[in-house]
Amino acid sequence: MGEANAERGENALIRRLEALLGGRGVSVPFGDDMAELLSGPPPLLGTVDTITDGVDFLSAEHAWRDIGYKAMAVNVSDCAAMAVRPEAALIAVVLDNRLSMDDAMALLAGIKECADAFGCALAGGDTNSWDQPTAISITIVGRPEPGQAPVRRDGARPGDLIFVSGPCGGSLLERHLHPRPRVELALALNRRLAPRAMIDISDGVAIDLSRVCAASGCGAVLAAERVEAAIHDDARRRAAKTGQPALEHMLHDGEDFELIVVLPTDVDRAACSELGLLPLGRMVTGRGLRLERAGRDVGEIAPRGWEHFQ
Amino acid sequence: MGEANAERGENALIRRLEALLGGRGVSVPFGDDMAELLSGPPPLLGTVDTITDGVDFLSAEHAWRDIGYKAMAVNVSDCAAMAVRPEAALIAVVLDNRLSMDDAMALLAGIKECADAFGCALAGGDTNSWDQPTAISITIVGRPEPGQAPVRRDGARPGDLIFVSGPCGGSLLERHLHPRPRVELALALNRRLAPRAMIDISDGVAIDLSRVCAASGCGAVLAAERVEAAIHDDARRRAAKTGQPALEHMLHDGEDFELIVVLPTDVDRAACSELGLLPLGRMVTGRGLRLERAGRDVGEIAPRGWEHFQ
């Protein structure tokens, strides 16, 4: 919910929603990237995400095709986060009456471009319009690969190793408009390495890792040297403009749509390298995120993230 | 889309959407009450419907609990229309920041009340807010009963008999706030009588029957005597206020959430009576809806419907 009422707002609502909806006895806890719709095997999972003009995107600045692509991609990335293959989508749009027919078709073409790129069928939807800003709600259903379970965010344990699936930071420069959710990598990881926990990086490495920590009841320590080795070139270019350290951009920028992957200490490190995973640190007992350099604690990492689509 | 741009609007958009999404080779054609998400057996079907404040409901006039109940019920009724059991739902709400926490919880409680009444799990969702009117988007997934296929709206043939699952008209007086979608009846009908086509009455008997006709490539003739026998008491009470014939209210009021059921001529009529079906007329070759009285044509029935939630 809006910032003005953040306290009474979204978090409080989600807690009350959890109380209202909880206790279904399903295999995926409330609050993960996808919800369990039907029990398995294999279970059917679903995710829904609504983005709205003026909050999550700015139609005055972004092309409708990009907005459509991204609306779909953020949902596909939720599937990647749980190692679920996106199989079919339903699209519900409430269009601003001021949109032209070409705008509406560009929006749908962008959604279809992304769906096609990830092999997800666009099964149907609901179109409405009103004299208010556009809202786009996309639901995707999918299943893990045969014999696999979805990867939750609450399975990390102290001692586990933390990896990221690629360099992060600075997505705002360009990449954020055309994210490449890591679905195939997620499926391969689940098949080969059985991750303890996984999440996609939508809001930022620090805040999304803190969600894994909160769900798993652990803390995390990141090694500055490792984090620096996982800084995206875009983060360095952005740092040159903002005057902030590139490491800050790596940890907090968001919209990378890479995966944070938590693996047991005895994981096959060669397989990790082969799959392109970059080590960042380890899960620990306790709470919160801390940074260390040369093995010495150098302070807390604030779990703050980037606001979408700015 | 809005009335001001109806021509360029929703119908044109839906046609272009169909061109964009069509050709998937699934068993349920684009445009039915639900879309096929995964092939079977049994197939998984899904439906999504968005309702918005000021268009589909008026939060100044209706209680948030009723709005929530109805938002869920219209989707459950889409499941009934295809003889699909609603199994799990995802809720996406974009709340007006002016809502109180109690309003938001009442909305969710209404959604849950309806979900519980129909045995549909609320699996999860997405909550957002903005400084615009509230939009509520609900996705339901479900399957037909084992061994059954979903009932489409395009299977009617000339000669088939048209029934309605209960008296219609005048729902505005009260019933429209707390609809009772006919899920169990739909499942029993599919099991016992294998309907050729089915649709739920959301916008009105005439307009929803015209959709069955259009999808099936037939026309329909209704017998005035039969229609009169299926007039709801509420339609008579409303007619007394509006000065319109009760038959007009029966045909055009909408929001009855009963079923229009098309059955072959050799159907077991005793079973039809036992299941509470009321005969209305028959499918014919050609197009459009006509009314006859004492076997004589007395004119066209306009396929106009009621606007939601007024």
How does pLDDT run across A170-204, given as a tens digit for each residue? Answer: 998 888 888 999 999 999 999 999 999 999 999 99
Among residues of chain B, what percentage have pLDDT more than 70?
A: 92
Nearest CA in chain A to B125: A48
Instruction: Please tell me what DSSP assigns to residue A171.
Output: G
Mutate to test the interface with A, among B5, B33, B34, B37 (most CBs of A within 10 A): B37
β-bridge mates for residue B89, sequence order = B122, B140
Q: Is the pLDDT of residue A251 over 90?
A: yes
If pLDDT is split at 50, 70 and 90, which confidence band does B30 have? confident
Q: Which residue has the higher pLDDT, B174 or B235?
A: B235
H/E element, A282: strand A278-284
Q: Is the pLDDT of residue B142 over 50?
A: yes
Q: What per-residue confidence (pLDDT) applies to B96?
A: 94
Mutate to test the interface with B, among A8, A28, A94, A102 (most CBs of B within 10 A): A94
If pLDDT is split at 50, 70 and 90, which confidence band does A239 have? very high
Q: What per-residue confidence (pLDDT) applies to B16?
A: 74
Instruction: Find where tokens 């079907």 sit.
Output: B45
If pLDDT is split at 50, 70 and 90, which confidence band does B309 have? very low
Nearest CA in chain B to A7: B101
In chain A, positions 252-281, which contact chain B (CB-CB < 8 Å)?
none
How does pLDDT run across B89-104, given as a tens digit for each residue? Answer: 999 999 999 999 999 9
Q: What per-residue confidence (pLDDT) applies to B177?
A: 83
If pLDDT is split at 50, 70 and 90, which confidence band does A309 have? very low
Q: What per-residue confidence (pLDDT) applies to A263?
A: 98
Instruction: Please tell me what DSSP assigns to residue A170.
Output: -
Q: How far apart, in whole angstroms, are the C-alpha atoms of residue A255 and residue A54? A: 17
If pLDDT is split at 50, 70 and 90, which confidence band does B1 have? very low
B204 to chain A, minimum CA–CA distance in Å?
A: 19
Mutate to test the interface with A, among B18, B79, B129 (most CBs of A within 10 A): B129
CB contact under 8 A, A97 and B2: yes
Nearest to A107 by CA among A85, A129, A83, A87: A129
DSSP helix/strand/coil, A212: helix
B124 to chain A, minimum CA–CA distance in Å?
A: 6
Q: Nearest Cβ partner of A137 from B2, B17, B92?
A: B92
CB pairs under 8 A between A and B: 210
CB contact under 8 A, A10 and B124: no
If pLDDT is split at 50, 70 and 90, which confidence band does A25 have? low
Q: Nearest Cβ partner of A97 from B5, B21, B26?
A: B5
Q: What per-residue confidence (pLDDT) applies to B31?
A: 79
DSSP helix/strand/coil, B146: coil
Nearest CA in chain B to A50: B92
In chain A, positions 30-89, which contact chain B (CB-CB < 8 Å)?
30, 34-38, 44, 46-50, 52, 54-56, 87-88
Q: Is the pLDDT of residue A3 over 90?
A: no
How does pLDDT run across A55-80, given as a tens digit for each residue? Answer: 889 999 999 999 999 999 999 999 99
Q: Which residue has the higher pLDDT, B281 or A42?
A: B281
Q: Which residue has the higher pLDDT, A305 or B269?
A: B269
In chain B, positions 6-35, which contact chain A (CB-CB < 8 Å)?
8-10, 12-14, 16-17, 20-21, 24, 26, 30, 34-35
Q: Is the pLDDT of residue B13 over 90?
A: no
Q: Which residue has the higher pLDDT, A127 or B88?
A: B88
CB contact under 8 A, A128 and B50: yes
Distance from the Cα of residue B88 to its chain's centroid: 19
Outline where DSSP puts E strands in chain B. 35-38, 44-52, 85-96, 121-130, 135-143, 161-164, 197-200, 219-223, 259-263, 278-284, 289-293, 296-300
CA geometry: angle B267, B273, B279, nearest 5 deg: 70
Q: What per-residue confidence (pLDDT) applies to B24?
A: 65
**Which two tokens mark A117?**
């790129």
Q: Is the pLDDT of residue A12 over 80?
A: no
CB contact under 8 A, A30 and B88: no
Q: Is the pLDDT of residue B310 over 60?
A: no
Compute the mean pLDDT over every residue in chain B, rounded to the nearest whole number: 91
Q: Nearest Cβ partner of B90 from A16, A94, A139?
A: A139
Average of per-residue pLDDT across A255-267: 97
Q: How far apart, in whole angstroms, are the C-alpha atoms of residue B181 and residue B33? A: 13
CB contact under 8 A, B104 and A4: no
CB contact under 8 A, A50 and B121: no
A112 contacts chain B (CB < 8 A): yes
Q: What per-residue confidence (pLDDT) applies to B22?
A: 63
What are the chain A neighbours of B12 within 8 Å (beta carbons)? 101
Q: Which residue has the higher pLDDT, B10 or A113?
A: A113
CB contact under 8 A, B141 and A46: yes
